[in-house]
Amino acid sequence: MGKLTEIIHQESKYQQSRCNLLDYYSDSESVDYYYHSNINITRPFIKFSHYNTIMYTKYIFQKLTNFLISHPHLDHVSSLVINSAGFATNNPPKQIYGSYYTIDSLQNHYFNGIVWPNMPDFDIVNLNQRKFKQVFHVGNYKIKMFPLSHGELNLIEKKSRHKVKFKNGSTSIKADNDDREQGTPVAADSIPPRRHSSVTTIPAGINDDDYVKTKIYEGFQPNGSRHNSSASSIGGNLDEEAVKSHYLSSAFLISRNFKNTTNDADISYLLVFGDFESDSISHLDYNLRIWQEIAPLVNKGQMHGIILECSNSFEIDENKLYGHLTPRHVIHELQQLASECQRIKIDEENEESQALKGLNIIINHVKEPILSNYRQIKDPRKQILKELNKLNAQENMGIQFSVALSGTSIII
């Protein structure tokens, strides 16, 4: 709510939209630079009186009745959870939609009465579990949810390691097979696993041999009872092993016929991805299946835009991706989409070499380079846009790239 208040206040008082993050870099550009020239940047709050900011925020929040949640990572649910304390109790509950994984986590790890009050019990929010690949309706919109991989689940295996006390009184950790340590062990007790990484790939500096795949979801059912679950029971014929060894995120294909006709050609589509990694990293085909589904819509010009992440502004070691994309991965994935579009083109004579020409791709979830080793810190949004446009030109793809800026509004 705080962010929306800031945005309304900024826009109504200063008559311009602004993204604070741009202020932190010496090389950042004005807002227009980050959006493709065909994108309509709008300022919905410009005519508001800034003295009524709180009232407008409250009003807009009342109007927000449905939430699609891609995955239950804290950075994706914290605002919803915290703001739920301010949802008016005399209003119908807010409807939250997500996969079994998302809904189960929201209930059991956030709205559990300990981390936060059990808002579903108080009818302040309503948690709606939906299956992947099954269409559901939210207001005037049709939604189809697809699974995504947001990294591989890993556990550092408890290696046979012991606390070793040396004659001189010092202690050390010694692995059974480690003969390098000097001294005679006088006490040895096993220690718990060093670290349990809830998600993703292996952190820097850790030996690959220390890892085994964690089967996090094995045996869990929505009611919390343990059970031998099968992947297909949670929707969409997911590969069972993949479900157990990869952190699942979701993409939402959102559609609506704004002309209210019965003609399918009048339906507009928007595809919104949660955090995800490239098929080339996961070795799954989750993304390919989405590209296959939307290729006909892209060919017919019904896909108004795709919102997807590019967390990393530079190419990094696979082990430090943590289930995200770099600019090269974005291009790789869009090349997969382009191939699908080409493959299904019926009219060979009219075959367009640039299958994605004019397609709007809006990049989000850019991470600040706070942990990077580079001394000179540059605006990561600018870096990403430059790199994407370079590759876009090299590959002659004709895509319209933009980078979403927090605090700005667009119409696509």
Ligand X SMILES: Nc1ncnc2c1ncn2[C@@H]1O[C@@H]2COP(=O)(O)O[C@H]2[C@H]1O
Residue 33 DSSP label:
H
Instruction: Provide, rounded to whole angstroms, the least separation between the CB of residue 199 and ligand X.
Output: 5
Long-range CB contact pairs, 61-65, < 8 A, 24+: 61/1, 61/4, 61/86, 61/87, 62/88, 62/91, 64/94, 65/92, 65/94, 65/95, 65/139
Residue 337 DSSP label:
H
Instruction: Provide, rounded to whole angstroms, the least separation between the CB of residue 389 and ligand X.
Output: 24
* Residue of 197, 292, 302, 406 interacting with ligand X (CB under 6 A): 197
Instruction: Provide, rounded to whole angstroms, the least separation between the CB of residue 191 and ligand X.
Output: 19
* Residue of 18, 73, 94, 244 interacting with ligand X (CB under 6 A): 73
Interaction of residue 275 with ligand X, rule CB under 6 A: yes
Contact (CB, 8 A) for 282 and 238: no
Instruction: Provide, rounded to whole angstroms, the least separation between the CB of residue 73 and ligand X.
Output: 5
Q: Distance (Å, rounded) from C-alpha 255 to C-alpha 272?
A: 11
Instruction: Provide, rounded to whole angstroms, the least separation between the CB of residue 287 and ligand X.
Output: 17
Instruction: Provide, rounded to whole angstroms, the least separation between the CB of residue 153 and ligand X.
Output: 10
Residue 67 DSSP label:
E
Interaction of residue 322 with ligand X, rule CB under 6 A: yes
Q: Distance (Å, rounded) from C-alpha 115 to C-alpha 108?
A: 10
Strand-pair category, 360-364 with 303-309: parallel
Instruction: For residue 61, give Cα distances in angstroms to 3, 88, 329.
Output: 12, 9, 36
Please list every residue from 114 through 173 that binds ligand X, using CB under 6 A: none
Interaction of residue 200 with ligand X, rule CB under 6 A: yes
Q: Which is nearer to ligand X, 194 or 283 (CB)?
A: 194
Please identify, among the stretches 157-165, 199-207, 236-244, 250-258, the one whose residues bind ligand X according to the rule CB under 6 A: 199-207
* Cβ neighbours of residue 102 closer than 8 Å, sequence gap 6 or more: 69, 70, 71, 72, 250
Please list every residue from 201 through 230 that binds ligand X, using CB under 6 A: 203
* Residue of 148, 164, 199, 297 interacting with ligand X (CB under 6 A): 199
Please identify, among the stretches 55-63, 99-107, 196-204, 390-398, the one whose residues bind ligand X according to the rule CB under 6 A: 196-204
Interaction of residue 193 with ligand X, rule CB under 6 A: no
Number of other CB atoms surrounding residue 409 within 10 Å? 14
Number of other CB atoms surrounding residue 169 within 10 Å? 7
Instruction: Provide, rounded to whole angstroms, the least separation between the CB of residue 129 and ligand X.
Output: 22
Interaction of residue 75 with ligand X, rule CB under 6 A: yes
Provide the binding-site residues for ligand X, judged by CB under 6 A.
Answer: 73, 75, 197, 199-200, 203, 275, 322-323
